[in-house]
C-alpha cells in the first residue's frame, strides 16, 4: 500500500462517463470532513496524488492499494456536496481524469460541484427511466433544454426544464452501470452545470457583452 500527502489540484478534466462504481468502507460523518475509504478495483491503477471523481467530486488519492483508495474530504466539500452522506456500504460513481489522447464522449466536467439537488420523481419509460430533480435558483440561468449537466458525476442531457426543476432521461446502460438505480425519491445528488455556460455568465456579469 502506498501512502502520500495531499497536494493542491491542477485543472483536472473529466467526461462524466463513469468508469465503474465503488463502495464506501469508511465514510465521512458530521460536518468536519475527514478520510473516506472506497473499495474499488481502480485502486490497483491509481498512484498517490492522482485525482479521481467520486460522485462528481474531484478528490486526491492519498493512500492506494490493490482494491481500495483513501482520500481526504475537507469541511468545505462536506458543506457544498453530498460527501457527508457517503456512509459505509454506499455505492459511488468513479471516474479518473480525461487523458490528453482520449476521446471526449460526454462533456467537460471539472469535479467542482455547483450545488445539490433532491430527486423529485423516478418513472420507468419503455426500459429507460425519467428522473426529475430540483434545480437551485442560483443555477437556473445556467441550465438550458438539451444542454449538458452532471448528476453525481454522470454526464446527462436536460430533457425538460421547468421552474425549480429539470428532468433527464436515463438509458438502460447508464441505469445499470451507475448508482442512479440506487436512488430513492428524496435522495440528494451533486450537480455540476456546464462550465461553458458559467464562463458566458461571468462575461455577461462583468459587462463584456450584452
* Cβ neighbours of residue 171 closer than 8 Å, sequence gap 6 or more: 128
Provide the CA 91 distance to its chain's centre, in angstroms.
13
DSSP string, 98-112: PPTTS---S--B-S-
Is pLDDT above 90 for 12?
no
Is pLDDT above 50 for 6?
no
Q: Band the pLDDT of 29: cuts 50, 70, 90.
A: confident
Task: Output 39 or 198, whichever has higher pLDDT.
Answer: 39
Exposure string for 75-87, b = 16+ CB within 10 A, e = fewer: eebbebbbbbbbe
Question: Could you tell me where in the chain the CATH 2.40.30.20 domains are found?
Answer: 2-95, 115-205
Please compute the mean of the pLDDT values over residues 81-90 and round it to a whole number.
94
Is pLDDT above 50 for 1?
no
Please compute the mean of the pLDDT values over residues 132-160 and round it to a whole number.
96
Q: Band the pLDDT of 98: cuts 50, 70, 90.
A: confident
| pLDDT for 108 | 78
Is pLDDT above 80 for 100?
no
Mean pLDDT, rounded, of the chain: 89
Is pLDDT above 50 for 153?
yes
DSSP-derived letter for residue 14 is B
Cα angle, residue 33 at apex, residues 30 and 36 outer, rounded to 5°: 105
* Neighbour tally for 12: CB within 10 Å: 18
| Rounded CA separation 141/101 (Å) | 33
* Cβ neighbours of residue 129 closer than 8 Å, sequence gap 6 or more: 122, 123, 169, 170, 175, 180
Is pLDDT above 90 for 118?
yes
Which range (106-110, 112-116, 126-130) has the least confidence? Answer: 106-110
Domain 2-95 has CATH 3.30.9.10: no
Instruction: Considering the domain delimited by 115-205, tell me its CATH architecture.
Output: Beta Barrel (2.40)
Instruction: Enter the pTM of the model.
Output: 0.88
β pairing state of 128-134 and 165-170: antiparallel
| Rounded CA separation 190/30 (Å) | 18
Amino acid at each position: 500500500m502506498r501512502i502520500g500527502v495531499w497536494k493542491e489540484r491542477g485543472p483536472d478534466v473529466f467526461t462524466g462517463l463513469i468508469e465503474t462504481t465503488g463502495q464506501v468502507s469508511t465514510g465521512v460523518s458530521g460536518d468536519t470532513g475527514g478520510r473516506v475509504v472506497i473499495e474499488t478495483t481502480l485502486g490497483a491503477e491509481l498512484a498517490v496524488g492522482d485525482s479521481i471523481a467520486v460522485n462528481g467530486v474531484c478528490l486526491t488519492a492519498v493512500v492506494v492499494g490493490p482494491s481500495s483508495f483513501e482520500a481526504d474530504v475537507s469541511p468545505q466539500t462536506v458543506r457544498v456536496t453530498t460527501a457527508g452522506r457517503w456512509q459505509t456500504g454506499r455505492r459511488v460513481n468513479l471516474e479518473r481524469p480525461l487523458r490528453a489522447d482520449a476521446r471526449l464522449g460526454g462533456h467537460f466536467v471539472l469535479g467542482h460541484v455547483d450545488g445539490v439537488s433532491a430527486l423529485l420523481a423516478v418513472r420507468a419509460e419503455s426500459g429507460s427511466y425519467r428522473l426529475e430533480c430540483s434545480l437551485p435558483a442560483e443555477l437556473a440561468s445556467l441550465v438550458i433544454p438539451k444542454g449538458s449537466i452532471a448528476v453525481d458525476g454522470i454526464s446527462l442531457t436536460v430533457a425538460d426544464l421547468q421552474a425549480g426543476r429539470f428532468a433527464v432521461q436515463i438509458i438502460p446502460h447508464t441505469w445499470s452501470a451507475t448508482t442512479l438505480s440506487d436512488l430513492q425519491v428524496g435522495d440528494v445528488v451533486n450537480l455540476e452545470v456546464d462550465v461553458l455556460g458559467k464562463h458566458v455568465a461571468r462575461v455577461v456579469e462583468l459587462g463584456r457583452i450584452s
